[in-house]
Amino acid sequence: MINDSALLESRSLRDGVLDRTDVLDRVKALSLLPDGMHVTTAMVAAYFEVGLEAVKSLVKDHRTELETNGYRSLTGEELRSFKNLSGIQSRTASLALFSRRAVLNVAMLLRDSEVARQVRVYLLDMEYLARTRPVDNSIHRDTVSLDDRIDQRITHILGKTVVPMFNALIETSGEHRKELVALRAGVQRIERRLHQHHTRLKRLEGVRDDRPTVGVMAAMDAMNGRTFEHHIAKLLRRDGCTDVTVQGGHGDRGIDISGLTADGRRLVVQCKRFAPYLNITSPDMQKFVGAAKVLHTAEVALFVATCPFTSEALSIAAETGITVVHRGLLEQWSAGEPLDVLE
């Protein structure tokens, strides 16, 4: 088995395991900034339990490699916007940010940190187990293939037959509506779990979709506002919401989408497709709170945005029961991970 020090010396080895950013949280919880995507130099130093200068020196020596994996330095208007988001009161002319991938990159370069060493050991242990675990490929392929076909058939039946049957029953039943809605929600949860299981199997098999792939967030950044709203409506329907309606713009009374959750709660959504360097501010959130809670008496209210939220906007959301779907969470939701509030 390769010694963890090999990662310190070989960039090719480092590049081969940079997708395993989940290892960071397995070794030690990594706190993120409110955008759900980045950490500062001070936060990196705190995670690895080293001084600031150790991280700065490492960046100086390996800047090109780190930039390839998500390290960036903000200046000018982009920095001012980020300070408004994070509440950082620094007067510095630039601010360094690390993505999770860049933090993992640091772990494979930082010599004098026990936390970094543990991350490297964990990475190599996982790689070793993955490569040496004995598998009867012929039996595995046949079993996975059969399970896959069964899962797809069950998912098809649930989605095309059972759920529509519940929809029809709910429309015509008053006395048992609540029980039927609960049963339908249970069926839809099973359908989603099967779909997620099917996706995981495909990843394990190394099967790739023949369609051209585009980054989830890059695709949303390319949408106009109306298309983005319909994309969010599609995600809601995927996760079991019903009566999902995209409002018509003028006269929408402060919301973009309305509907019912799978268990029958009133749902409203505000959608903002902003550039990633902008942010949702306190006035934006206050306006939506009034529309969602006063005008529409919503039980579930989502503020979905392709950009970060300011700390004040996040505080208002927490105090008033608004669910914030920031850029990082939106990417996970679009990739198939359901929102907890919709479960």
Provide the residue-wise pLDDT of the chain in tens; the chain has 343 residues.
456 677 888 888 888 888 888 888 888 888 887 767 888 899 999 999 999 999 999 999 999 999 999 999 988 888 888 777 666 666 778 889 999 999 999 999 998 899 998 888 888 776 655 555 555 444 444 444 545 555 555 555 555 556 566 566 655 656 666 666 666 666 666 666 666 665 555 555 544 443 333 457 777 877 888 899 999 999 999 888 999 999 866 556 789 999 999 889 999 999 999 877 788 999 999 999 999 988 889 999 999 998 888 889 999 999 999 999 988 888 888 888 888 888 7
Structure confidence at residue 265 (pLDDT): 92
Structure confidence at residue 44 (pLDDT): 94
Beta-bridge partners for 271: 304
* Strand residues in 114-178 grouped as ranges (E): none
**Residue corresponding to tokens 């969602």:** 292
* Nearest to 334, CA basis, from 243, 219, 200, 245: 219
236-to-36, 75, 96, 156 alpha-carbon distances in Å: 22, 37, 36, 19
29-59 pLDDT tens trace:
888 877 678 888 999 999 999 999 999 999 9
3-state secondary structure at position 209: coil
104-to-16, 22, 57, 133, 260 alpha-carbon distances in Å: 12, 9, 16, 25, 41
Structure confidence at residue 175 (pLDDT): 60
Structure confidence at residue 2 (pLDDT): 52
Contact 324, 292 (CB under 8 A): no
Structure confidence at residue 27 (pLDDT): 82
pTM here is 0.44
Q: What tokens appear for 296 in the block?
A: 């529409």
Task: Give the integer Cα–Cα distance in Å for 192 and 185.
Answer: 11
Structure confidence at residue 214 (pLDDT): 41
261-279 pLDDT tens trace:
988 999 999 999 987 778 8
**Residue corresponding to tokens 């002319």:** 93
Structure confidence at residue 138 (pLDDT): 46
Q: What tokens appear for 32 in the block?
A: 């993120």
Structure confidence at residue 52 (pLDDT): 92
Query: What's the mean per-residue pLDDT of the chain?
Result: 78
Helix (H) or strand (E) holding 238: helix 225-238
Count of Cβ atoms closer than 10 Å to residue 129 Cβ? 10
Residues 6 or more apart whose CB falls under 8 angstroms from that of 127 comprise: 16, 17
Task: Give the integer Cα–Cα distance in Å for 18 and 9.
Answer: 15
Structure confidence at residue 193 (pLDDT): 65
Residue 140 has, within 13 A of its CA and on its CB side, a CA count of 9
Structure confidence at residue 161 (pLDDT): 58
Query: Phi, psi (5° rounding) for residue 188?
Result: -70, -30
Query: Phi, psi (5° rounding) for residue 99?
Result: -80, 170
